[in-house]
Amino acid sequence: MREIAPNSLTGVLCDKDGTLVDKERVALEKWAQAAAEAGFTLPEQVLIPMLGRDRDTVMGTVREHLSAQSHAMEARIDALFEAPGAADAPDASSARIARVVEEVRAAKERYVREHVAAHGLPRMPGLDAFVEYLRGKVAESQGRILVALPTADQTEDAQAHLRAVEASDVFGIIVGADMVKRAKPDPETYVVAAKRIGRSPSECVAIEDSPAGLEAAIAAGCGAIIVIPNRYLPEAARAKMISQADFACNSLAEVPAVLDRLLVK
């Protein structure tokens, strides 16, 4: 653990998925549903290592997994394009595989949005009290403490998710994957988020749940890093995150006590 001067930081950069809301559970279920409807399987163990990563990286993994299901893929390709045997041409096969993967992605995202609209998202334990704590901290600091949300999600989706849990006023500044050239684990999302609140990353505390997010926060040079290791991660990955962070919490309920030690009075 680094030595961090007490009450010296002025920014809070907090991740969303797996940290504030359990979108992962919904996303994993909807990926499986969309894949099954297209004739494939997409088990959790394929997707869990992608937690916190950008859409392109996730899609690459999905494409690789679906492509490996060769017999089912060829049957699906022929059915979609009504051209039995056309997949024998490598270029045509590659294009059709991309089409199938895009079909699965679009269905998954539609199902997630429908779920959020109808049911909202599961709140991570301690969310409401944590949001209220930040709301009060920002108000009493009179602008000395500011908050931003760096996420691997798309900005529009992040806004909808925050509205669903009544937290959009606290996290009014969002930096989504669509706002940067390189998403997490690249540090750009954190660098831009800090800049948006007029801070350098070294003046901010990052709050993360995934290895990709932690890697991004470390590379950005955040002044302190709190992790709440994602519950879907293998135990070894959780332990590694804890060893790399400055502070580890079991839930958001424990975070305010840590922030009280880090943020300016």
Task: Give tens-digit pLDDT for 144-169.
Answer: 999 999 999 999 999 999 998 999 99
Location of structure tokens 């199902």: 111
The domain over range 11-22+122-262 is classified in CATH as 1.10.3720.10: no
pLDDT reported for residue 41: 87
Say if residue 79 is exposed, middle or buried (CB neighbours under 10 Å; 0-12, 13-18, 19+): exposed
pLDDT reported for residue 86: 46
pLDDT reported for residue 95: 74
Where exactly are the structural domains of the chain? 11-22+122-262, 25-119
Say if residue 138 is exposed, middle or buried (CB neighbours under 10 Å; 0-12, 13-18, 19+): middle
- Report, as ranges of residue numbers, the positions in the chain whose pLDDT lies below 50: 86-87, 89-90
Say how far apart CA 151 and CA 117 lie, in whole Å. 20
pTM across the whole model: 0.82
